[in-house]
Amino acid sequence: MKTLQKHIIILTVILLSAGLKGYAQNLQPPSFRAGSNKTVVQPNKKATVPHVNKKILEIKKEYMSRQLGLTPEQATRFFAKLDEYQEDHNSITQLMLENTEKKDKDFFQKDAKLNQQLISIKTHYYEEFLKIMPAEKAANVFRLEQQFNLEVMRVRQGKDKDPQD
């Protein structure tokens, strides 16, 4: 946890010095769906997510690589797949937000289908991560990413105090 605290401090300094400006970028539809025979809800427009500061991504990659104990070759392969996962996940999350805004009669069914897609995406990429690293490491990927993202949100919200472990 000490390493994470160090990264949080660095991240805080970077965020405060760089500002918190961002912009939206277009995402491609989830790549894991190519050739799939599953029913997929398609967006009406391209999904957008806020731009993430390059320095934050560098810190995240360094943090995850160190926590997972990846070799340089594993890190290259892993981060290519992690980027794909994040793109796919963000695309479905954007669809969920759009669906929430509509609240039409099909809301529940669409929401359930989108939640199933999130599970499918996570399962698919877990299998991809297993091709790169042992199961013990692959099992920690989503937890580490969530932990890092939560810390970024805390820093952005000015809550830089770490909760007791």
Per-residue pLDDT of the chain (165 residues; tens, 9 = 90+): 566 666 566 555 454 444 433 323 333 344 444 444 444 444 434 443 445 578 888 899 999 999 999 999 999 999 999 999 999 999 999 999 988 887 778 888 898 999 999 999 999 999 999 999 999 999 999 999 999 989 988 988 886 555 554
Instruction: Quote the pTM value.
Output: 0.65
Amino acid at 102: K
Alpha-carbon span 53 to 19, nearest angstrom = 10
The DSSP secondary-structure symbol of 42 reads P
